[in-house]
Structure 1
Amino acid sequence: MLARVTTRFLRDESGATAIEYGLIAAMIAVVLITTMMLMGDSLYNLFDRGVGRAALTLDSATP
């Protein structure tokens, strides 16, 4: 009885795809978070510079 239940449990693959997609999503999240942590200052400066330029453009366009 126990051997049959164990064998059936080990052969059951339902839900494996969902688990695989979850693991892939978790790995992508870890890579993105790590990249943003390592490049945090550079990204901040890049966006800050872009906002500054947009503000200057808007200020110069105002009559």
Structure 2
Amino acid sequence: MEINYPYAVLDNLGNTTSNFPGLFYLGTPFYLRGDVGFLQPFDFLFFYYLLFFQKLKTMRKFF
């Protein structure tokens, strides 16, 4: 079994893929607090919040 880093493979343009470059900036506050594990629940709640209020905005257009 070979151990290769999966994101080191070159794409069709000859570059390596990105692991969501902004994740470094999003995770910095959680890293500084001492637990990066809080990033995932925070992201889930944040995106749920965005989707919920986007849905409310579109529903208001119809009524």
Larger Cα-atom Rg? 1
Per the normalisation by structure 1, the TM-score is 0.45
Could you say which structure has the higher helix fraction? Answer: 1
| Relative contact order, higher structure (CA 8 A, sep 6+) | 2
TM-score of the aligned structures, taking structure 2 as reference length = 0.45
